[in-house]
Amino acid sequence: MGAGQRVRTAAARRRDLPALHTSGNPGPEIFAWSRAAVWLAALFAAVAWEGGRNPRAGVWDDAQYTRDLGLFTDVWARWDSVWFLRIAEHGYGAYPNDAAFFPLYPGLVASLGRLLLGHYVLAGILVSLAAGVVAFAVLYRLAETRLGADGARRAILYLALFPVSLFLQAVYSESLYLLLAVAVFALAERGRLPEASAVAGLALLTRPSAVALLPALALLAWQAHRARGLAALVLAPAVFAAYPLLLWWRIGEPFAFLTAQDHWNRDLSPLGPLGGAYDGLRAGVAGIRQLIAGDGGRVYWEVPRWDPLHVAAINASLMLFLVLFLVLTVLAWRRFGAPYGLFCATSLALPLSVPGDDWPLQSLPRFGLTVFPFFLALAVLGGRPRAHAAIVGVSGLFLGVAATQWALWQWVA
C-alpha cells in the first residue's frame, strides 16, 4: 500500500469513526460488574485471612492517610496510595521524593476530597472509578471500528479481567492515565489534533510513562496533515510545563521529578531497554530453575529478606508478562498500524530502560494495564471460542489471586 493510499485510508477511517456516546455500549456495564466482583473478592480476603497480612507492609500503612470509612473503602488504599493521599492533603514537599508522583491525579483527589469534607480515600476511589468507566466506554467505540462489536467487547472484557486490573479502582492513577491515553488516540483519529495534544499534556501530568504517547501522536499527526499537523503538538509540553512550575513554587526545585525515582532503586541501564529485558529474562529463568529445584538447596536469585520460592514465582511471572507484551506489541503494530505499535513499544521500552535492582521487571504488569492496544491485540487472539475461554479463565483466576494478595497487603505490581 502506497503512502498516499495509507493517508486516504486513515482519512476514511476518521470519517467513519462513530461518535463516542455510550448508547448500546457495553463498556460501562462490564466495568461496573467487574469492579463489583473484584471489590467483593478483596473484602472477603481481608476479612477471612487477616492473619496472612504482610508484616513488612507497616512502613506503607500510614493510618493517618489510608483510613477513611472503614474496610469498604480502606481496602483500596494500599502501597503507593499513601503517596497520592499525602500529596492530596499537603501538596508537594511534605515528604522526600514525593515529586515522583505526578500532580493531576492527586490534584483531582485533593479537590474532591475537600468537597467530601476530608474523605480523601473515598475521593481517590471515586476519581478512579469515574475515569475508568469513561475509559471503557471510549475504548469500546475505538475498538469497534477495528474489531467489530464482538471483538470490541472481547477487548474490554480482557482489560476488565486482566490480573492487575484491581488498580482501576484503587487510589492509583491507572484509570486516569488509561482514559487519557485512549482519548489521545480517539481525538487524533478524528482529526482533532490540538485537543489530542492538550490531552497528551494532561497525560504527562499524570505519570512519566505518558511520554510514550508523543511518538505515536506525532506519527498520527504526520499521517493526517504532514508537517502542518506536527505544529499542534506543542500544546503537550506547554500543558506539562505546569508541573515544573508547581515544583518550583512549592519546593524550589522545578525538575525534582527527574531524580525522585532514584528512591525506588531504579537505575538507567547502559543498554537501554535491552539491558532491562536481559536482566528480566535472567531473573525469570532463575525463577523457573528455583521453582523446579525447590527451596532446600541453591538460591538462583537472591533478594534479601524474601523467601527464594516467593522471589522465583514473582520473577518467573514477570518474565511471562514481558513475553506476552512483546508478542502483543508485534501483533498490534501489524494489525492496527504503526502508531498503535509504536505506543506499545515505547511504553515497554521506558520501564525496561530503568530496571529495578532486585526485581528487574518490577511493576511491568501494572504498566501494561494502561497500554490499551495490548487488549485490542489480545481480542484478535481471542477470536476463537477455545482461545477466548482460555484467556478469560486464566485472567480471571489470577485476578482473584491478585485481589487476595492486595487485600492482605502483599505486594502486587
Query: Which residues on adjacent β-strands are paired with residue 266?
Result: 356
Average pLDDT over residues 28-35: 97
In this prediction, residue 2 carries a pLDDT of 44
pLDDT at 7 > cutoff 80 = no
The mean predicted confidence, pLDDT, of the chain is 90
In the structure, what pLDDT confidence band is assigned to residue 313 with cuts at 50, 70 and 90?
Answer: very high
C-alpha cell at 395: 485472567
In this prediction, residue 86 carries a pLDDT of 95
More confident residue, 321 or 359: 321
In the structure, what pLDDT confidence band is assigned to residue 58 with cuts at 50, 70 and 90?
Answer: low
In the structure, what pLDDT confidence band is assigned to residue 5 with cuts at 50, 70 and 90?
Answer: very low
Q: Helices 193-204 and 213-225 sit at what angle, rounded to 10 degrees?
A: 170
Burial 163-192, CB ≥16 within 10 A → b, else e: bbbbbbbbbbbbbbbbbbbbbbbbbbbbbe
Residue percentage of the chain with pLDDT more than 90: 74
In the structure, what pLDDT confidence band is assigned to residue 225 with cuts at 50, 70 and 90?
Answer: confident
More confident residue, 18 or 409: 409
Average pLDDT over residues 114-133: 97
Residue percentage of the chain with pLDDT more than 70: 90
pLDDT at 372 > cutoff 60 = yes
More confident residue, 104 or 252: 104
Choose the weakest-confidence range: 6-20, 51-65, 250-264.
6-20
More confident residue, 403 or 53: 403
Choose the weakest-confidence range: 22-36, 108-122, 171-185, 254-268.
254-268
In this prediction, residue 52 carries a pLDDT of 60
pLDDT at 320 > cutoff 80 = yes
In this prediction, residue 187 carries a pLDDT of 96
Torsions phi, psi of 360, nearest 5?
-55, -30
In the structure, what pLDDT confidence band is assigned to residue 268 with cuts at 50, 70 and 90?
Answer: confident
In this prediction, residue 147 carries a pLDDT of 96
Average pLDDT over residues 212-240: 88
In this prediction, residue 223 carries a pLDDT of 86
Structure confidence by residue, pLDDT tens digits, 332-353: 999 999 999 999 999 999 999 9
Residue 127 to residues 38, 142, 171, 229, Cα–Cα distance (Å)? 17, 22, 8, 32
Choose the weakest-confidence range: 111-125, 296-310, 345-359, 368-382.
296-310
CA dist 195 and 170 (Å) reads 28
Average pLDDT over residues 224-239: 83
Q: Are 351 and 209 in contact (CB under 8 A)?
A: yes
pLDDT at 12 > cutoff 50 = no
More confident residue, 29 or 412: 29
Average pLDDT over residues 365-381: 97
C-alpha cell at 230: 506536527
Average pLDDT over residues 219-246: 88
CA dist 59 and 66 (Å) reads 12
Average pLDDT over residues 154-162: 98
CA dist 184 and 201 (Å) reads 10
If we measure between CA atoms, which residue out of 145, 127, 245, 244 comes closest to residue 186?
145
DSSP state of 80: T
C-alpha cell at 208: 512519566
pLDDT at 54 > cutoff 90 = no
Average pLDDT over residues 203-225: 93
Q: What does the DSSP assignment read for 195-251?
A: HHHHHHHHHHTT-GGGGGHHHHHHHHHHHHHTHHHHGGGGHHHHHHTHHHHHHHHHH
